[in-house]
Amino acid sequence: MLQKTLVILKPDAVQRRLIGKIISRFEEKGLQIVGMKFIRMTQELARKNYRQHKGRDFFEPLIRYVTAGPVVAMVLKGKEVVETTRKMAGFTFGTKAEPGTIRGDYATSSRFNLVHVSDSQEAAEAEIDIFFGTDEILEYDAVDNPWIYDMSQGTII
Domains of the chain: 2-148 (3.30.70.141)
pLDDT at 111 over 90: no
**pLDDT-wise least confident of 17-21, 29-33, 76-80, 142-146:** 142-146
Residue 60 confidence (pLDDT) above 80: yes
Q: Is the pTM of this model over 0.85?
A: yes
Rounded mean pLDDT, 16-34? 98
Which residues are known catalytic residues?
116
At 81, phi and psi to the nearest 5? -65, -35
Q: Within 10 Å of residue 17's Cβ, how many Cβ atoms?
A: 8
| Banded pLDDT at 132 (limits 50, 70, 90) | very high
Judged on CB neighbours under 10 Å (0-12, 13-18, 19+), 70 is middle
